[in-house]
Amino acid sequence: MGNDLLDTFVECLRMFVIASDSLEETILEQFLRYRQELLDWNTRVNLTAITSPEEVLIKHFLDSLSLLSVYDRPGAHLLDIGTGAGFPGLPLKIVRPRWKVLLFEATGKKVTFLQHMIETLQLQDVVAVHGRAEELAHKAEYRASFDVVTARAVASLPTLLEYAAPFCRVGGKIILLKKGDLAEELIQGKRAAQQVGAVLEDDVAVRLPGLDDGRRLLVWEQQKLCPKQYPRNGGAMAKKPLGMER
Ligand code: SAH
């Protein structure tokens, strides 16, 4: 069972990695090392609820790489908000070494893990930043400067859009990895998007090997600069989420 899934993982990896065999081997080694460190650290630091080695391959690594099915441009500058143990940003960095990747994470211990992983895998042009998106978004160096902003399992759509849009350049994409029934959330999300200058462009189903759990990628285009007042502080966001009907 375990080896079958490893084979499946390698098959899927091949779809994303257009490179020589030796490069592909290095990439596989990097993923296996990442998995080993993740499960090892997870016994001491709360990093993930997924503890089966097979599931890490599919639900963390492949799920992260699914973003490439809707966005895959050379030299992209990507921001991952609330990356946790690195998802989806770090797997993307492993298979797209030329991308510039920034990982934002509010929990210090997770940032320590990310820094350990970046060092262990000797990755360049990827930085883990300890902080909250709603605060970092008001720093000039990060404002409107990313080609793609992503997040998985961090907040509801209105909150995610308010976090993400300020970082996105005009013409850039916000790609949110979601799961389950979104009907209500999507209505609010679309209204929130209008307020922050983004528009839903695509809604793509994701099928991972052996799973049929309604995963999808919501792709938003940043059509206008996000107004300066966003994101509001955490309290205001929680009290009055964007896109709520009054
Ligand atoms: N994206 C990862 C982690 C999801 S858990 C994955 O899919 O596996 C959500 C993570 O987001 C937590 O690690 C939490 O610390 C972080 N987080 C929540 N709100 C945040 C914020 N406003 N800014 C930065 N990180 C945040």
Q: Which residue has the tokens 């091949």?
A: 14
Among candidate residues 105, 131, 157, the one where a domain is terminated: 131
Has residue 136 been placed in a domain? no
pTM over 0.75, yes/no: yes
Ligand 1 centroid from CA 153, angstroms:
7
**pLDDT score of 12:** 86
Residue nearest to atom 25 of ligand 1 (CA): 82
| 114 and 169 inside one domain | no
Higher-pLDDT residue of 210 and 82 is 82
**Quick one: 179 and 199 in the same domain?**
yes
Regarding the beta carbon of 107 and ligand 1, being less than 6 Å apart is answered yes
- Please enumerate in sequence order all residues whose Cβ is within 8 A of that of 169, keeping only pairs 6 or more positions apart, or say none: 144, 145, 146, 147, 222
Q: DSSP secondary structure string, the chain?
A: -HHHHHHHHHHHHHHH--S-HHHHHHHHHHHHHHHHHHHHHTTTS---S---HHHIIIIIIIHHHGGGGT---TT-EEEEET-TTTTTHHHHHHH-TTSEEEEEES-HHHHHHHHHHHHHTT-SSEEEEES-HHHHTTSTTTTT-EEEEEEESSS-HHHHHHHHGGGEEEEEEEEEEEES--HHHHHHHHHHHHHHTEEEEEEEEE--TT--S-EEEEEEEE-SPPPTT-S--HHHHHHS-TT---
Query: What does the pLDDT look like over 11-53, one tens digit per residue?
Result: 888 877 765 666 677 899 999 999 999 999 999 999 999 999 9
Which pLDDT score, from 0 to 100, does residue 26 have? 87
Residues spanned by the domain of 14: 1-131
Residues 120-133: tens digit of each pLDDT = 999 999 999 999 99
Report percent pLDDT > 70 for the chain.
96
User: In the chain, what's the furthest Cα-to-Cα distance?
Assistant: 58
User: What is the tally of structural domains in the chain?
Assistant: 2
Q: Which atom of ligand 1 is nearest to the CA of 48?
A: 8
Q: Answer whether residue 17 is part of any domain.
A: yes
Is 100 found in the same domain as 38? yes
Q: Are residues 110 and 12 in the same domain?
A: yes
Q: By mean pLDDT, which of 84-88, 228-232, 237-241 is the weakest? A: 237-241
pLDDT score, position 246: 55
* Span 152-189, pLDDT tens digits: 999 999 999 999 999 999 999 999 999 988 999 999 99
- Name the residue of 45, 64, 105, 154 to mutate for ligand 1: max ligand atoms within 8 A of Cβ: 154
Q: What integer pLDDT is reported at residue 241 of this predicted model?
A: 92
State residue 22's pLDDT score.
65
Domain of residue 183, CATH code: 3.40.50.150
* Residues 87, 152 contacting (CB under 8 angstroms): yes
C-beta 154 within 6 A of ligand 1: yes
Q: Which residue's CA lies nearest to atom 6 of ligand 1?
A: 87
